[in-house]
Amino acid sequence: MALIVQKYGGTSVGSIERIRNVAERVAKFKALGHQVVVVVSAMAGETNRLIELAKQIQKEPDPRELDVLLSTGEQVTIALLAMALKDLGLKAKSYTGGQVRILTDDAHTKARILSIDEDNIRRDLASGHVVVVAGFQGVDAAGNITTLGRGGSDTTGVALAAALKADECQIYTDVDGVYTTDPRIVPEARRLKTITFEEMLEMASLGSKVLQIRSVEFAGKYKVRLRVLSSFEDEGEGTLITFEEDTMERPLISGIAFNREEAKLTVLGVPDRPGIAAHILGPIAEANIDVDMIVQNVGHDGTTDFSFTVHRNEFKKAMAVLEKVKDEIGARAVIGDDKIAKVSLVGVGMRTHAGIASKMFKALSDENINIQMISTSEIKISVVVDDKYMELAVRALHQAFELDKEGVAA
Ligand code: ADP
Ligand code: ASP
Ligand code: MG
């Protein structure tokens, strides 16, 4: 007998029929003698619909009230799933995040889980219930409803699995595992049987939305056995996230991630002297804007150009900050571009291999794609390219590194 946490995403609970389907899958696990905790998202499209409603009233909806609104999406699903389970003759009980007491900080719309009170859940499991928990939501110390950021139900699932010391956390979604890249962009993308935790963390942070990054962080911190599977298929082992350090057997590149959510800002004609980078980025940090990639060109004529990227939502705010900075430091101009995309190669195999970057750059140049920025770490190389070439870049790289073929090992 095992304790399993299963998380079902929006499409997987997108209709009454799909919810019944989930109930049947849960029933199968119960019939095998397992204890099951189910975490569900809002029905497909519901969170977006609620955000739209809010925006019709306030352009920038009040964060506390937005959380009250968004949390209703998941509350609908837990009740419906609990009913469907009861309809199959199982004992089931639904819980909102607050009812479990998933305690978070008070950062509305992007709260972090601080602790989980698992007593109620354990008691219900012991008495044979399937416990159904609303994903994506919690409650702060003052009792306010909070949400965990888009895709946050993954994090609820993994955090619950950690708190309950579950044998496995299964993330059921509309693809049958983690692929070499988003199969919607590259049909030849291949499912990975395993991916290392580090690679998954990079993939998630570089834009693959198959798992929310915080869920991967939780899995790493508490060593949760985490698997991504399809809710649309009965068979299949999905993708297991592994913690092995042995990278000998790992492929050179595991996957390609991409992200259209950034914008680039450039300060032109910056005086080339010590302290300038701090002078530009200090006010950006003070405005609470996170910076991702940074490039400073080699100086000539005593000046240089300084570029960095921020989230697209903060583009306008960052431009306004820079306009002020520009005059203070005597820079020539500030320009911005929010039509960029970041494309990243990820693989622990590249740690022990040279030549990956040049192969990447050649593949992009063969397609006439200009690279605007580059950043690297031990297990990833990211480039910024023009938004309109993003899909082409992803396909070209997938082909150049033969990711459609199994086992191109390091
Ligand atoms: P859910 O609603 O179940 O949480 P999401 O839409 O959040 O589902 O995540 C699943 C989607 O992630 C897939 O439909 C796929 O388009 C996308 N995706 C992006 N990158 C990858 C990848 N490397 N492997 C698999 N799916 C990916
Ligand atoms: N319903 C939330 C969202 O759409 C949380 C989730 O699905 O994980 O982002
Ligand atoms: Mg998701």
CATH of the domain at 380: 3.30.2130.10
Q: Which of 250, 275, 293 is the last residue of a domain?
A: 250
Q: Whose CA is nearest to atom 21 of ligand 1?
A: 182
223 and 283 co-located in one domain:
no
Q: Which pLDDT belongs to residue 252? A: 86
Residue 246 DSSP SS3: coil
Residue 274 belongs to a domain: yes
The finding on whether 238 has its CB within 6 A of some atom of ligand 1 is no
> Do 97 and 24 sit in the same domain of this protein?
yes
> Which ligand number lies closest to the CA of residue 13?
1
Q: What is the pLDDT of residue 351?
A: 87
Phi-psi region of 155 (alpha: psi -120 to 50; beta: other; left: phi over 0): alpha
Q: Please indicate, yes or no, if residue 57 is contained in any of the structural domains.
A: yes
Ligand closest to Cα of 212 equals: 3
The CATH number of residue 64's host domain is 3.40.1160.10
In this structure, the number of other CB atoms found within 10 A of the CB of residue 295 comes to 16
Looking only at the bridges linking them, the beta strands covering 168-173 and 226-230 are parallel
Strand partners, 134: 40
Structural domain includes residue 353: yes
Same domain for 288 and 241, yes or no, is no
Sequential DSSP letters for 193-232:
SEEEHHHHHHHHHTT-TTS-HHHHHHHHHHT--EEEEESS
Is the CB of 178 within 6 Å of ligand 1? yes
Q: Does 116 lie in the same domain as 32?
A: yes
- Verify that 192 and 143 share a domain, yes or no: yes
| Residue among 171, 149, 198, 221 at smallest CA distance from 349 | 198
Q: Is the CB of 42 under 6 A from ligand 1?
A: no
Phi-psi label, residue 285: left if phi above 0, alpha if psi -120 to 50, beta otherwise: alpha
User: Mind spelling out the 3-state secondary structure of the chain?
Assistant: CCEEEEEECCHHHCCHHHHHHHHHHHHHHHHCCCEEEEEECCCCCHHHHHHHHHHHHCCCCCHHHHHHHHHHHHHHHHHHHHHHHHHCCCCEEEECHHHHCEEECCCCCCCCEEEECCHHHHHHHHCCCEEEEECCEEECCCCCEEECCCCCHHHHHHHHHHHCCCCEEEEEECCCCCECCCCCCCCCCCECCEEEHHHHHHHHHCCCCCCCHHHHHHHHHHCCCEEEEECCCCCCCCEEEECCCCCCCCECCCEEEEECCEEEEEEEEEECCCCHHHHHHHHHHHCCCCEEEEEECCCECCEEEEEEEEEHHHHHHHHHHHHHHHHHHCCCEEEEECCEEEEEEECHHHHHCCCHHHHHHHHHHHCCCCCCEEEEECCEEEEEEEHHHHHHHHHHHHHHCCCCCCCCEC
- State whether 270 and 339 are in the same domain: yes
State residue 407's pLDDT score: 64
Residue 342 is part of which domain span? 256-400
Q: How far apart are CA 204 and CA 198, in angstroms?
A: 10
* One-letter amino acid for residue 248 of the chain: M
Q: What is the pLDDT of residue 352?
A: 84
The Å distance, Cα 12 to ligand 3 centre, comes to 10
CA of 167 to the centre of ligand 2 (A): 24
Any atom of ligand 1 within 6 Å of the Cβ of 184: yes
Instruction: For residue 18, report the distance from its CA to the centre of ligand 2, in Å.
Output: 17
Would you write out the chain's pLDDT as a tens digit for each of its 410 residues? 899 999 999 999 999 999 999 999 999 999 999 999 999 999 999 999 999 999 999 999 999 999 999 999 999 999 999 999 999 999 999 999 999 999 999 999 999 999 999 999 999 999 999 999 999 999 999 999 999 999 999 999 999 999 999 999 999 999 999 999 999 999 999 999 999 999 999 999 999 999 999 999 999 999 999 999 999 998 899 999 998 766 566 788 999 999 999 999 999 999 888 898 999 999 999 998 999 999 988 878 889 999 999 999 999 999 999 999 999 989 999 999 999 999 999 999 898 888 999 999 999 999 999 999 999 999 999 999 999 999 999 999 999 999 999 865 44
Q: Which ligand is nearest to the CA of 209?
A: 1
Residue 409 is assigned to a structural domain of this protein: no
* Ligand closest in space to the Cα of 41: 2
What's the residue count for the chain?
Answer: 410
* pLDDT for res 287: 93
pTM: 0.93
243 and 262 co-located in one domain: no
Q: Which atom of ligand 2 is nearest to the CA of 152?
A: 8
Distance separating alpha carbons of residues 65 and 237, to the nearest angstrom: 40
Nearest to 370 by CA among 395, 332, 341, 330: 341
Do 295 and 396 lie in one domain? The reply is: yes
- In whole angstroms, give the CA distance from residue 160 to residue 148: 14
The answer to whether position 406 is within a domain reads no
Q: Give the number of the atom of ligand 1 that is nearest the alpha carbon of residue 174.
A: 14
State whether 330 and 275 are in the same domain. yes
Residue whose pair of structure tokens reads 């409650």 in the numeric block = 139
pLDDT of residue 248: 61
Asked whether residue 408 is assigned to any structural domain, the reply reads no
Please give the Cα distance from 327 to 104 (Å, whole number): 42
Q: Is the CB of 344 under 6 A from ligand 1?
A: no
Specify the number of domains making up the chain. Answer: 2
Check whether residue 194 and residue 87 sit in a common domain.
yes
Using CA atoms, how far apart are residues 13 and 75, in angstroms rounded to an integer? Answer: 12
Q: What is the pLDDT of residue 410?
A: 44
In a domain, residue 47? The reply is yes
| Residue 11 Cβ contacting ligand 1 at under 6 Å | yes
Best residue for ligand 1 mutational test, from 46, 182, 343 (most atoms within 8 Å of Cβ):
182
Q: Which of 250, 270, 301 is the last residue of a domain?
A: 250
pLDDT of residue 246: 63
Residue at which a domain ends, from 250, 270, 298: 250
Residue 46: both structure tokens together: 């519901």
Question: Is residue 17 in a domain?
Answer: yes
pLDDT at 249: 67
- Quick one: 382 and 357 in the same domain? yes
CA of 174 to the centre of ligand 1 (A): 7
* Nearest partner of 211 among 149, 138, 155, judged by Cα: 155
Ligand 2 centroid–CA 152 distance in Å is 6
DSSP class of residue 350? G
The answer on 261 and 241 residing in a single domain is no
